[in-house]
Amino acid sequence: MRSGKLAKGKNRARRERRQKALSSQKAPSSGTSLVSPGNKLREGDLAGAKCACAEILKGEQAPDKIRMAEPGDPAEVSRLFEEAIQLHQAGQMDRAGPLYRRILDFDPAHADALHFLGVIAFQNQDLEEALSLISRAVEQNPAAPHYHTNLGLVHQAGGRLDEAAAALNNSLALNPDGLEALSNLAGVLTIQGKIDEAIALCRRALEIDPNHADVHNNLGSSLKRQGDWSGAIASYERAIEIEPNNAAVHNNLGISLKGKGDWGAATVSFQRAIEIEPHYAEAHTNLGILFNDQNRFDEAIDLCRRALEIDPNNADAHNIIGVVMHGQGKYDEAAESYR
């Protein structure tokens, strides 16, 4: 990688393509909904995706105690499911998961329990388990669009883009106005280089909801791929107006501002991303790249070393340290970084 090329956040793009991950679903009896945390899957890291996905449910607090009577009839299964949903809403996945499993012990074909248990596996970064569970949920209830959407997100997180696109298209066939499916399919198409199709999907989604931050973020990423820096900047800025504390969008904005040549504003954007999410390796790396281009070598090395503390496998950070060391005549240290 040349020293001036910004890190694209491949790790974060995978994690955050899981990032805003899970699409809305009404819980059968509780009347509450499972809400996606947004598309951190687009430009973020696996740890960031886990944090984003942890916001999956917002609603009533769970009861202090779980009643653990053995399920003996459909009414008892329904009651257990109500409790599991309330726990899930309260963010207590470690307590909700066992209840979903108890439901499946009684009824292995319970589609919602399969699906929500798959959601928990996804949040815990167990993609293999998530794929198995959500696939089984789809088999039991192929008419549920959100199952297909979440199956697509799991495929996307695993790098299976064709399978992700197929699942998301299945979701849209059932619900053509599904915002999460539209937004995430646009993200997949952008990665595949099908930029015009991705932009069309984003604009269609924004006709449905002009204030959807993830869609503006995805539109910005598509425009960025086209080299339309001004258009990308406008889209990212709109996403930030809606969702000011999204570190991935600030990072994306910084990349586009640097691409346009506004290094001062890019610096502010990367710093803001780090302020929001101090363990955001790609933002540290991108700011290090920017400082390297400004001949601020010591600061660049410090930032890239910090990125490597967070993510030792960050190739861009290793590369920038190697570039700086090579420029300073420290060839052995440069060679070590390039390895």
For residue 153, is it within any domain? yes
Q: What's the mean pLDDT when you consider all of the chain?
A: 83
Alpha-carbon distance 98 to 105, whole Å?
A: 10
For residue 1, is it within any domain? no
> How does pLDDT run across 120-177, given as a tens digit for each residue?
999 999 999 999 999 999 999 999 999 999 999 999 999 999 999 999 999 999 999 9
CATH number of the domain enclosing 293: 1.25.40.10
Assign 49 a pLDDT band (cuts: 50, 70, 90): very low
Assign 222 a pLDDT band (cuts: 50, 70, 90): very high
Enter the pTM of the model: 0.76
For residue 238, is it within any domain? yes
- Please report the pLDDT score of residue 151 as a whole number: 98
- List of residues 6+ apart from 66 with CB closer than 8 A: 83, 87, 95, 99
For residue 16, is it within any domain? yes
Assign 335 a pLDDT band (cuts: 50, 70, 90): confident
Q: Which of 128, 130, 110, 108 is nearest to 119 (CA)?
A: 130
For residue 163, is it within any domain? yes
Alpha-carbon distance 220 to 252, whole Å?
A: 8
Domains contained in the chain, number: 1
> How does pLDDT run across 184-204, given as a tens digit for each residue?
999 999 999 999 999 999 999
For residue 304, is it within any domain? yes
Which amino acid, 31? G
Structure-token pair, residue 142: 């192929």
For residue 287, is it within any domain? yes
> What would the mean pLDDT of 70-91 be, rounded to a whole number?
81
For residue 204, is it within any domain? yes
* Structural domain for 96, as ranges: 10-338
